Amino acid sequence: MRNIPMIVTTEWLAERLDDPNLSLLDVTTFLQHTDDGPNKVWSGREAYEKEHILGAVFADLLKEYSDPDDDKLRETFEKVGALDPNKKVITYCGGGIAATWNALLLNKLGQNNVAVYDGSMSEWAADPTLPLDTVDNKNRNNE
């Protein structure tokens, strides 16, 4: 049974960052259109390591979090607690596209309490009052 909305807002997430049953997954993936061939796609791991929403873990959709074998994918998500039925799992990325894909994968694997943070990192990072973990492991708000 679902106990969170399918899409959460900045306000919803900010109010619940301290919830021990909240699991945040940063699934940032970059896509660049090219006129002369296939689009360029690369992992957002470097961006995550530079800064991410406080408490988030990185899930690389171009590596271990994209295995076509459901059992292997399930095992990978279980390692970060994303399939725990007691958790409220929130996925985010740069703008919502990869986060939506990730939420669908989690739902397919049985996680009913998964939502997409629709503002994603672009909205969160634009608000200086919201906490970010940064490359030097300091919260930008000194908390």
For each of the chain's 143 residues, which pLDDT tens digit applies? 778 999 999 999 999 999 999 999 999 988 888 888 888 888 889 999 999 999 999 998 888 767 678 898 899 899 889 999 999 999 999 888 889 989 999 999 999 999 999 998 999 999 999 999 887 655 545 54
Ranges of each domain in the chain: 7-126
The answer as to CATH 3.40.50.1980 being correct for domain 7-126 is no
E strand segments, the chain: 7-8, 22-26, 29-32, 40-43, 51-53, 57-58, 88-92, 114-117, 132-134
Q: Are 133 and 58 in contact (CB under 8 A)?
A: no
Which tokens is 13 given?
């997430």
What is the identity of the amino acid at 129? T
**Please, what is the end-to-end C-alpha distance for the chain in angstroms?**
35
- Please identify which residue in the block is written with the tokens 């095992």: 75
Question: CB 109: neighbour CB atoms within 10 A?
Answer: 17
